[in-house]
């Protein structure tokens, strides 16, 4: 039987998940099909109910990462504490969050290492920020600051930190002094973090910017010019997809083949 998997969300045309998963299947010699399907929150329950036994899993993008939790029979620790799942394994409907893995692996592959208790700042307060909280906890952070455009909207991220048991403080997005941390993760959409670039620390630490096109971002350019280490969101995207491939196929992800399939985002 030919197996099926897909990335679902709305909009979906921009997703690179089909590129990554199809490259993985080819390298693994699997006659599987990976789709990119437009599905909104209202359509998701019926869509999942109609999937037959040929389906092995779904990758979920916004706005489905929270909605899918209501359809799951099993929710992983990371998905539970972040209230966000980007993976649904079928047919038993296990919801997982491999964005957390993506952040951890991307930073470690780039060479990030720090003693337990390091400081961290997250720019943004949405679903990706919650995944960043969990990832920073796994990496050993002792304190996290969040820069939020709307501090009142950071409640879910605070809840994630409380469940994990890590100290987190919320600040206005303009509190640029918080950029002077061991590691900064920018989780805001393209262009939003540009306002922070002029205030990059004199001696910056590490920066992971989830934006990967265009790359480097203005913030990453300034960070690098001052001697800081930068990691593209493309590395996070690759790493989270590798974990999805492993979960869906039960085999090690072919990292080199998946990386080679990614388009160049450099100017």
* 65 part of the active site: yes
Cα 136 to Cα 11: distance, rounded to the nearest angstrom: 29
DSSP the chain: ---EEEEEESS-TT--HHHHHHHHHHHHT---EEEEEE--TTTHHHHHHT--TTEEEEEE-TTHHHHGGGG-SEE-HHHHHHT--SEEETTTTEEE-HHHHHHHHHHHHHT----TTEEEEEE--SHHHHHHHHHHHHHTEEEEEEEESSGGGGHHHHHHHHHHT-EEEEEETT-GGGG-SSEEEE-SPTTTTHHHHTT--SS--EEEES--SSSS-HHHHHHHHTT-EEEEHHHHHHHHHHHHHHHHHSS---HHHHHHHSPP---
Active-site residue among 3, 21, 65, 130? 65
Cα 84 to Cα 216: distance, rounded to the nearest angstrom: 27
Those residues with Cβ within 8 angstroms of residue 80's Cβ, 6 or more apart along the chain or in another chain:
none
Catalytic residues: 65
């Amino acid at each position: 039987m030919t197996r099926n998997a897909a990335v679902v969300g709305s909009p979906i045309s921009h997703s690179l998940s089909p590129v990554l998963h199809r490259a993985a299947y080819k390298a693994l010699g699997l006659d599987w099909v990976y789709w990119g399907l437009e599905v909104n929150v209202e359509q998701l329950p019926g869509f999942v109910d109609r999937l037959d036994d040929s389906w092995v899993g779904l990758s979920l993008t916004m706005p489905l990462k929270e909605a899918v939790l209501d359809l799951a029979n099993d929710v992983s620790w990371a998905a539970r504490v972040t209230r966000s799942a980007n993976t649904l394994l079928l047919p038993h409907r296990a919801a997982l969050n491999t964005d957390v893995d993506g952040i951890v692996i991307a930073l470690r592959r780039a060479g990030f290492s720090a003693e337990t208790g390091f400081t961290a700042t997250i720019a943004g307060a949405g679903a990706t920020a919650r995944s960043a909280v969990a990832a920073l906890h796994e990496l050993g952070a002792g304190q996290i600051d969040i820069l939020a455009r709307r501090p009142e909207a950071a409640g879910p991220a605070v809840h994630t930190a409380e469940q994990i048991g890590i100290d987190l403080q919320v600040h206005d997005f303009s509190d640029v002094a918080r950029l002077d941390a061991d590691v900064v993760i920018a989780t805001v959409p393209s262009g939003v973090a540009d306002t922070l670039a002029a205030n990059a620390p004199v001696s910056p630490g590490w920066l992971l910017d989830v934006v990967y096109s265009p790359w480097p971002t203005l913030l990453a350019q300034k960070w690098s010019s001052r001697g800081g280490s930068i990691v593209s969101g493309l590395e996070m995207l690759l790493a989270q997809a590798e974990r999805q491939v492993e979960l869906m196929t039960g085999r090690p992800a072919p990292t080199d083949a998946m990386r080679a399939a990614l388009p160049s985002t450099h100017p």
